Amino acid sequence: MGKTLECYFWNPELDLEDKLDFKYQDIGNGIELKRPIFTNDALDKIITDLKKKRKEFLLKMGIANILDIIGKVTDQWMNSDYSRRKFALEVLPTITGFSVEMLESLGFGYMLGLLKKEHIPLTGKLQNKNFTEFAEHGDGLVRAYGETEVAYSNYELELIGHVCAGNILGLAPLEMVMDKLVDAATWIKVPKEEPVFGAIYAKSIEDIDPQFAYTIAILPYESKDSKVQDFLFSKSDIIRATGGQQAKKGLTDLAYKHNIPIAGHWHKFSFITIARDYMNKRAKDIAELVSFDVTAWDQQGCFSPQEIFVETGGDVSAVEFSEMLAEEMETISIRLPKGSKSGKMHVLDGYHQYLKKEMMGEPVKLFPSSTYQWLVIFDGNKPTFEPSPLFRVIKVKPIDDIMDTVSIIKPLGSFLQTVGVAIPNNRLMPFANAIGEVGATNIRTVSNMTLQRSWEPWDGRFPLQELFEHDGIRWVSINTRDIEEDIKESLERKRMLVNQSKVK
Amino acid sequence: MVKFPSDEWIKNFKDKLNKNKTYEEVATNWEGDFLLIISPDEKLRDEVVFYLDLWHGKCRDAFIVTREKNAAFVFRGPYSNWKKVINNELDPLRGLIRGMFIVEGDSKVILDQAKAAQELVNTASKIPTEFEN
């Protein structure tokens, strides 16, 4: 018996289901996706109702009640016996192409855990004048770059629209919660690659508090459906969007047309820098930690590393480190295997491209997986930044000094995002200052690259603040105040997350 | 009418809070003192600091600070935002989220005490307050 999954959610009292036509898509494994074909009339009713529910319920709720509801919803999802979680784990591997282990470990084990009450970011905005140098915030440090220049400010948001990219699970739930913290109603365009989880999550909110849930609508329209998008933009106070360069152009133009701000999170590059101080007996631990960064979300996230720069001069050379990493990649791929979206062709592409170089006598050495699960490439040529084919293909490049990374990645500028580091405390700050200056925004201990903290900025802006204000400040964070300690803790955290993935 | 900010106002607040049964109930686990800093803006010339010692649903002490004083939590914001809070027009936690106030101290503890924070505001709003012109 097959399953038909509803990819939409809105207040059922609107009674629209009988009035709309639906499209059905068979995606295999007995799963069929059901998407509405929106009419202007239906969209108008949904948006009007969202605004009404906000006024009648959300605005009258104390923040304590809002936090309670968010807490209760998250508690449900943290329970591995929760029926909606079990259902999601049944269907999401087919829909997303990620393995059930990946979804369980990083999706439910980590991403949704960010919505636990104790992780809710209470400070939406910091005073940049207090952060002209890296200073304490959350569990780590942040620094502000630039001068305040407020281009947009709205403390009374009525409706926020979200256009979500499909590479990471869990974006829609995060957006729903963020919006409620600023008292706004929400519509979310879920991605075609993963149109289901947003609706499942919204229903889990409905289970706890229906009126609260009806300030949210999940609208799985197609990007090419410009009439729908045009209408939704025209009714919104701000749009937050994630996507590639093509999405950036279309969405930015549309926001401009409707004279509304857009908080965009577009294509980014991330990488790792490892200091020679760790290229000794600790190198194996570092390789274990790095293997998690490369494996997480099959390297599909903007925060996933595409290159690893290893400083020479330690006891362990960059090529020896590559071999250690290959061993760890093999180990972790057993616990966190690839799903149906294996990217085999991408891995093969990386392999053949570099095999040719190796055969031509270039200082290149390949460490492949026999099953195309992953590929580690040591490339001893003069280091430059080259995008990875992804799907667990990673290049290791030797550098003379960690500060050389700065000039290598400088051309990427605003395309930079997360920097995974294994750099001792006494060398980290000059590196962080320089790398922040050229455009990187999140510096995280290796193995934490894909583990966003709720207090951290996202692409240089705080996720709550960018909903109500755009002030031109670019924030850079370091996820810890003590990297030596964090490396120890990261090993435990990584092992716990990976072990969580044992399918019950 | 009691002038805000003044020592008389914060002492009045303490008396009202100690009579508030709802507060006593929701703040039963609260331990920690506060410095409430009212920063100057166009309506207030000089900074005013209140000290508030909150302990298990009761206010043990409250006064205007004239010397250096430390506390577990510091809650800081401009006078005009405090006025909105006292008039029950702004939830202080919503104010925090929007950057209208700044907190120093463990914000997770404050998150856990959101209901107590709301009751503090409800109490403050019952004081017949005279604001700066």
Q: Are strands A469-470 and A152-153 parallel, antiparallel or unpaired?
A: antiparallel
- The encoded tokens of residue A216 equal 């949210």
- For B21-43, the pLDDT digits (tens) are 999 999 999 988 999 999 999 99
Average of pLDDT values for B47-67?
96
- For A56-97, the pLDDT digits (tens) are 999 999 888 999 999 999 999 999 999 999 999 999 999 999
The verdict on residue B75 lying in a domain is yes
Q: What angle do CA A233, A454, A334 make, to 5 degrees?
A: 105
Cα dihedral A90, A93, A98, A100 sign: positive
A124 with B97: Cβ contact below 8 A:
yes
Asked if A446 and A412 count as a contact pair (C-beta separation under 8 A), the reply is no
Tell whether the model's pLDDT for residue A307 goes beyond 50: yes
B103 with A123: Cβ contact below 8 A:
yes
Interface contacts A/B by beta carbons within 8 Å: 57
Asked if A115 and A173 count as a contact pair (C-beta separation under 8 A), the reply is yes
- DSSP at A458: B
Say whether residue A153 is in contact with chain B using an 8 A CB cutoff. Answer: no
| CATH classification at residue B79 | 3.30.1050.10
A125 with B103: Cβ contact below 8 A:
no
Average of pLDDT values for A470-486?
97
**Sheet hosting strand A305-311, strand order edge to edge:** A135-137, A140-145, A474-478, A442-445, A416-422, A269-274, A305-311, A393-399, A375-379, A364-368
Beta bridge partners of A119: none
Query: Residues of chain A with pLDDT > 90: what percent?
Result: 86
**Pure H helices in B35-103:** 79-86, 92-97
Tell whether the model's pLDDT for residue A110 goes beyond 70: yes
Asked if B10 and B50 count as a contact pair (C-beta separation under 8 A), the reply is yes
Residue A504, pLDDT score: 43
Tell whether the model's pLDDT for residue A503 goes beyond 60: no
How is domain A269-500 classified at the architecture level of CATH? 3-Layer(aba) Sandwich (3.40)
Tell whether the model's pLDDT for residue A394 goes beyond 70: yes
Q: Which of B85, B97, B17, B84 is nearest to A67 (CA)?
A: B97
Tell whether the model's pLDDT for residue A41 goes beyond 60: yes
Which part of chain A has CATH 3.40.605.10?
Answer: 3-120+156-260
Intra-chain end-to-end CA distance of chain A, in Å: 23
Q: Which of A181, A110, A133, A142 is nearest to A456 (CA)?
A: A142
Nearest beta carbon to residue B107 from set A62, A122, A126: A122
What is the rounded distance in angstroms from the CA atom of residue A239 to the CA atom of residue A262? 5
Query: CB under 8 Å to A73, separation ≥6 — which residues?
Result: A115, A201, A204, A205, A208
SS3 string, A377-414, reads: EEECCCCCCCCCCCCCEEEEEEECCCCHHHHHHHHHHH
Asked if A205 and A69 count as a contact pair (C-beta separation under 8 A), the reply is yes
Average of pLDDT values for A255-264?
97
Residue A99, pLDDT score: 94
Asked if A199 and A7 count as a contact pair (C-beta separation under 8 A), the reply is yes
Residue A395, pLDDT score: 97
Average of pLDDT values for A90-116?
92
Q: Which chain A residues contact residue B100 at CB under 8 A?
A: 155
Nearest beta carbon to residue B111 from set A117, A126, A464: A117
Tell whether the model's pLDDT for residue A1 goes beyond 70: no
Asked if A261 and A234 count as a contact pair (C-beta separation under 8 A), the reply is no
Tell the CATH superfamily of the A3-120+156-260 domain.
Aldehyde Dehydrogenase; Chain A, domain 1 (3.40.605.10)
Nearest beta carbon to residue B97 from set A64, A122, A126: A122
Asked if A241 and A265 count as a contact pair (C-beta separation under 8 A), the reply is yes
Asked if B118 and A62 count as a contact pair (C-beta separation under 8 A), the reply is yes
SS3 A335: helix
CA closest to B92 among chain A residues: A63
How is chain B split among helix, strand and coil, in percent rounded to 5? 40, 30, 35
Compute the radius of gyration of chain B from its Cα atoms: 13
- Measure Cα distances from A341 to A29, A95, A107, B72 in Å: 14, 10, 17, 51
- Measure Cα distances from A268 to A168, A172, A252, A271, A384 in Å: 14, 20, 17, 10, 17
Tell whether the model's pLDDT for residue A132 goes beyond 50: yes
Residue pointed to by tokens 């010692």? B53
Compute the radius of gyration of chain A from its Cα atoms: 23
Backbone phi and psi for residue A159, each to the nearest 5 degrees, phi listed first: -140, 125
Q: Which of A197, A181, A183, A187 is nearest to A70 (CA)?
A: A181
Asked if A237 and A154 count as a contact pair (C-beta separation under 8 A), the reply is yes
Query: Beta-strand (E) ranges in A259-413?
Result: 262-265, 269-274, 305-311, 364-368, 375-379, 393-399
Residue A312, pLDDT score: 98
How many domains does chain B contain in total?
1
Mutation for testing the B interface, residue in A59, A123, A157, A462 having most B CBs under 10 Å? A123
Q: Which residue has the higher pLDDT, A54 or A501?
A: A54
SS3 string, A108-142, reads: HHHHHHHHCHHHCCCCCCCCHHHHCCCEEECCEEE
B111 with A183: Cβ contact below 8 A:
no
Burial status of residue A149 (CB atoms within 10 A of its CB: 0-12, 13-18, 19 or more): exposed
Residue pointed to by tokens 């990386």? A350
Single-letter residue type at A501:
S
Domain of B119? 2-124
Tell whether the model's pLDDT for residue A193 goes beyond 90: no
SS3 string, A186-227, reads: EEEECCCCCCCHHHHHHHHHHHHCHHHHCCEEECCCCCCCHH
The verdict on residue B131 lying in a domain is no
Single-letter residue type at A426:
N
Mutation for testing the A interface, residue in B97, B111, B120 having most A CBs under 10 Å? B97
B111 with A469: Cβ contact below 8 A:
no
- For B69-127, the pLDDT digits (tens) are 999 999 999 999 999 999 989 988 889 888 899 888 887 788 888 889 889 999 999 99
Say whether residue A183 is in contact with chain B using an 8 A CB cutoff. Answer: yes
Grade residue A207 by pLDDT with cuts at 50, 70 and 90.
very high
Q: Which of A214, A183, A155 is nearest to A465 (CA)?
A: A155
Asked if B41 and B4 count as a contact pair (C-beta separation under 8 A), the reply is no
- For A317-347, the pLDDT digits (tens) are 999 999 999 999 999 999 999 988 878 888 8
B108 with A118: Cβ contact below 8 A:
yes
The verdict on residue B133 lying in a domain is no
Assembly ipTM: 0.85
Backbone phi and psi for residue B82, each to the nearest 5 degrees, phi listed first: -60, -40
SS3 A271: strand
Burial status of residue A308 (CB atoms within 10 A of its CB: 0-12, 13-18, 19 or more): buried
Say whether residue A123 is in contact with chain B using an 8 A CB cutoff. Answer: yes
Which part of chain A has CATH 3.40.309.10?
Answer: 269-500
Say whether residue A361 is in contact with chain B using an 8 A CB cutoff. Answer: no
A62 with B102: Cβ contact below 8 A:
no
Mean pLDDT, chain A, rounded, equals 94
CA closest to A61 among chain B residues: B91
